[in-house]
Structures are given as structure tokens and as C-alpha cells.
Amino acid sequence: MSLDQVVGQELEWSQPEFMRRYFTLRNDSGELATLRFDSRSLATGECDGASWTFKRTGFLSPKVTVRAVGSEVELAVFTPTGMGGGSVIFSSGARFQMRSKNFWRTEWVFESEDGSVLATLAGRPHVFKDGGVATVAQLAAHLPETPVLLLLLWYVRVIMHEESAASAAVVAAI
């Protein structure tokens, strides 16, 4: 199943097993994408017959690099902002902005440079099994970057949730 077949549909990100950092993106017809964390910050994502790695690096100036599996060449670099969003620049020169749609940071979008919404993600993180709902806009159906944007939305969401949970645990321990 390809992304152009699911435009406008609600796609569900889910974590099939508690405590396993493996996620699937599905609709009623079946699986569309997967994201598997291989370590704390390294994940492998698959969508539309292609595979990429996502890796968070840096402490004071963090970024997420995206590479085709088996390649050392960066396909894209996501640079977060202080409020949880950020921008991604692809090696092709394509640029997209990720931003939160609400104060509670439960709804996220990737937008093109002109502000058109390409992909969305909604849902609150859960303590035991995480999940959310994603959609792909018609405008994004044939963009070559769309599979990476969908996976990157979820990757960033998972990392942000885990970091905020870890911060809360430290504060609670004080």
C-alpha cells in the first residue's frame, strides 16, 4: 500500500507491545510504515518500500539526521526549536517546518515553506502503550519527502515524550 492510496484517511500509529520501542502505522487495509528503535536515539523506519535511519545527535545543539539504510550520506537534517517544533532540510533543498498546533503539544503538523499542511499527527502520549493518529494531505501524496516526514513526525514525538517523562522523574525524585 502506498501513501497516495491513503490521502486524507486517519492512519493509526500504535505500539503493539508494552516496553518494546517498535511502532506501526496502519489503516483498515493494513500496515503502511514501521519505526523500530535500535538504541536510545537510533531508529529504523520503513515506508513505501524504502528504509531510513533516524538518529538524534548533539546536546546543546541537537539535531536529527536521516539517512537511507546502509548509507553514510545525510538525506535530511531536522533541527528542533525550543518549543518542540523545528525545521527539516533535505539534501534536495526541500524545506519543511514542524510545529505544534496547540498549547498542549498534542497536535503536530509538517508544513511546506508556503504554510500548506502536508502531514499531521494528533494524540496524547500514553504511559504504557503509545499511539496517535496521522494524516497525509492531498498536496503531499506525491512528494518524495512525505514518507520521511511521516516517520520523522513520529520519531520526534517519541523522543520528546521520553525526554519529558525522564525530566518529570528527576523532578519528582528531588
CATH number at residue 20: 2.40.160
Domain that holds residue 88: 3-165
Does a structural domain hold residue 137?
A: yes
Does a structural domain hold residue 173?
A: no
The pLDDT of 3-31, averaged and rounded, is: 92
Count of structural domains within the chain: 1
The answer to whether the predicted template modeling score (pTM) of the entire model surpasses 0.75 is yes
- Per-residue model confidence (pLDDT) at position 165: 47
What confidence tens digit (pLDDT) does each residue in 46-67 have?
A: 999 999 999 999 988 899 999 9
Mean pLDDT of the chain: 89
Sign of CA dihedral 149, 154, 158, 160: positive
Does a structural domain hold residue 39?
A: yes
Is the pLDDT assigned to residue 14 strictly greater than 60? yes
- Asked whether the beta carbons of 44 and 35 are under 8 A apart, the reply is yes
- Pick from 154, 162, 156, 153: nearest CA to 126: 162
Does a structural domain hold residue 174?
A: no
- In terms of pLDDT, which residue wins out, 126 or 68? 68
Does a structural domain hold residue 22?
A: yes
What confidence tens digit (pLDDT) does each residue in 87-105 have?
A: 999 999 999 999 998 887 7
Does a structural domain hold residue 160?
A: yes
- Pick from 53, 52, 55, 27: nearest CA to 41: 55
- Per-residue model confidence (pLDDT) at position 167: 44
Does a structural domain hold residue 171?
A: no
Model confidence band, residue 170 (pLDDT cutoffs 50, 70, 90) = very low
Does a structural domain hold residue 114?
A: yes
- Asked whether the beta carbons of 52 and 67 are under 8 A apart, the reply is yes
